[in-house]
Amino acid sequence: MNKTILHSFIVTFFTLNVHAQNGEWVEWIADAQLSYNQIDNINLSAFSNDQENDNKISLMASFGRFYQLNGTSRLHIVATIAKARFDDFDSMNNTELGLSLGFRHKFGLGYYKPYLQVSLGYIDKEFSTSSWDRSSYDGYLEFGQHFTQKLSASISYSYTKIDGNPWMTVLPEISSEVFDQSYWNSDVVIDYLLHNDWLISASYGYRDGDLTSACTPGNVAKVLTKNTVNAITTDDVFGGCVYQISGKTHTFSTSLNYAISGHSGLSFSYEYLKGDAGTLNYNSRNIQVSYNYRY
């Protein structure tokens, strides 16, 4: 995944736009979200004596449009801007600019027909400290279906490639490009409509690839003793070192959503992440409350 692939997809998108028979631009996309998060072990440390917690407030807006190819297939293009601020670790404050291009196909007409969605995305993320700046590219595939009026499920698979900034060299034999990462991710999501206005969701996610952890120099020394570290550099955010290691994570989450109106709603979610890399365990929790608006 790189800029060449993203450029090729953009060309394909607009080629389909021009040549699709009976295709037309249809409804607009205009979404906004204001969220508040309480995050435990925000630095994803494997050591309990230097795990940090913080609160985050975020504002996100997305704008785009659908292009209807036929009765069962459509394209979309969406631009996103987001800004996040942290209470304690303000060096983590960041701004995101993103672009998503996608294709969705439903296998027939009707509410219970399954669908397939494919998309490519790009995000440029700038932090208050430039050492954490990065650009990411991802490819995403999702298959889902409504089984009843209340029950639906989906399974997705994605690949993400991240390009970061090289920073100060700590060990000459190890790269300093901590945020140059890649990983695979798979998610299973189940949604159940409790009432016309209430929706409950549960999901499980599995990720395999590069992890980033920040901790004190003393704990980094323990990591280097028994584990293979891909990259390491100094850290301006948490005051120690940040390193990259290959590992796996399991993410369990649940959410409760309430529809205020046809255009807005509230959401409460809880997420628990359990990561393993070599002899180390990386655990984190995230509680989020959000207000969501869709035009």
At 280-291, the pLDDT tens digits run: 999 999 999 999
- Decide which of 295 and 119 is more confident: 119
**What is the average pLDDT across 219-239?**
91
**What is the average pLDDT across 66-74?**
93
Q: Sorting pLDDT into bands at 50, 70 and 90, what band is 257?
A: very high
C-beta separation of 28 from 64 below 8 A: yes
C-beta separation of 79 from 63 below 8 A: yes
Mean pLDDT, the chain, as a whole number?
92
Q: Sorting pLDDT into bands at 50, 70 and 90, what band is 2?
A: low
- Reference 268, options 205, 201, 204, 196; nearest CA is 201
Q: Sorting pLDDT into bands at 50, 70 and 90, what band is 23?
A: confident
Phi, psi at 5, each rounded to 5°: -65, -45
Please tell me the distance from the alpha carbon of residue 8 to that of residue 143, in angstroms, as a whole number.
Answer: 24
Q: Sorting pLDDT into bands at 50, 70 and 90, what band is 239?
A: confident
Report the pLDDT value the prediction gives residue 1, as an integer from 0 to 100: 44
**What is the average pLDDT across 14-25?**
62
At 130-182, the pLDDT tens digits run: 999 999 999 999 999 999 999 999 999 999 999 998 888 888 899 999 999 99
Domains of the chain: 3-294 (2.40.160.40)
Please tell me the distance from the alpha carbon of residue 257 to that of residue 272, in angstroms, as a whole number.
Answer: 18
Q: Sorting pLDDT into bands at 50, 70 and 90, what band is 233?
A: very high
Please tell me the distance from the alpha carbon of residue 189 to that of residue 199, in angstroms, as a whole number.
Answer: 13
**pLDDT of residue 58 exceeding 90:** yes
pTM: 0.89
Please tell me the distance from the alpha carbon of residue 158 to that of residue 118, in angstroms, as a whole number.
Answer: 10
At 241-251, the pLDDT tens digits run: 999 999 999 99
**What is the average pLDDT across 32-53?**
96
**What percentage of the chain has pLDDT greater than the value 90?**
81
Q: Sorting pLDDT into bands at 50, 70 and 90, what band is 22?
A: low
Query: Strand pairing partners for 9?
Result: none
Report the pLDDT value the prediction gives residue 20, as an integer from 0 to 100: 53
**What is the average pLDDT across 57-81?**
96
Tokens, residue 232:
């390491």
**What is the average pLDDT across 208-212?**
96
Report the pLDDT value the prediction gives residue 19, as an integer from 0 to 100: 52
